[in-house]
Amino acid sequence: MSNPLIDIPVTQYYFDTFVVGAHHSMPHLVADLLKRRELAKYEQSREIPQVLRNEYDKLIKMIDAKLETIDIEELKDIELAEPIYWVNELARRSAIEINTYGRIRPETMTLLLCVDEEDFATIMKIASGITQRLVGISAKAEASATPVPEKMPRVS
């Protein structure tokens, strides 16, 4: 069974951009990396093809290298980071939903209704800013004169 935390493209770009870059707080990054490391080690302990074993080994090395650059003790502050984490997480989630569905989904709205009014206002302000940036980037991309290749590559 596939696990989206560890069955990822194991490239430095993917790791830096979509694993490390996705975090709103250092304690959450540390917690995530430690979890991914343990999951990869667990999978390595099972009977799996060598190609997967190699991928997990590569992932563990990337995680270890990143953990060497940050203070693992920050994990102790995860409870302090939770309010900031959730303000940013709900803002991103709201912006994504507004841009993809045209509205905030009920599951996200249920969470939004649980935060205090000040955090709700902050979340909506951040989500609005993200949405405006995405609209601006999209408009700029549409206006650019980038030529479309005559023959698009196909994977067969």
What is each CA distance from 30 to 77, 78, 126, 131, in whole angstroms?
A: 10, 9, 24, 29
Q: How buried is 6 (Cβ within 10 angstroms: 0-12 exposed, 13-18 middle, 19+ buried)?
A: buried
Note whether residue 55 is domain-resident. yes
pLDDT at 109: 97
- Residue 102 and residue 131 in one domain: yes
- Is the residue at 7 inside a domain? no
pLDDT of residue 27: 95
Contact yes or no for 86/115 (Cβ under 8 A): yes
Are 29 and 64 in the same domain? yes
Residues 35, 56: one domain? yes
Tell whether 66 and 82 lie within a shared domain: no
Which domain, by its residues, includes 37? Answer: 12-70
Specify if 107 maps to a domain.
yes
Q: Assess whether 26 and 59 both reside in one domain.
A: yes
pTM of the model: 0.78
Predicted confidence pLDDT, tens digits, the chain (156 residues): 689 999 999 999 999 999 999 898 999 999 999 999 999 999 999 999 999 999 999 999 999 999 999 999 999 999 999 999 999 999 999 999 999 999 999 999 999 999 999 999 999 999 999 999 998 988 888 887 667 777 877 776
Tell me which DSSP letter residue 6 carries.
T
Which of 53, 70, 87 corresponds to the end of one domain?
70
**Residues 87 and 138 occupy one common structural domain:** yes
- What is the per-residue pLDDT for 47? 94
pLDDT of 145: 66
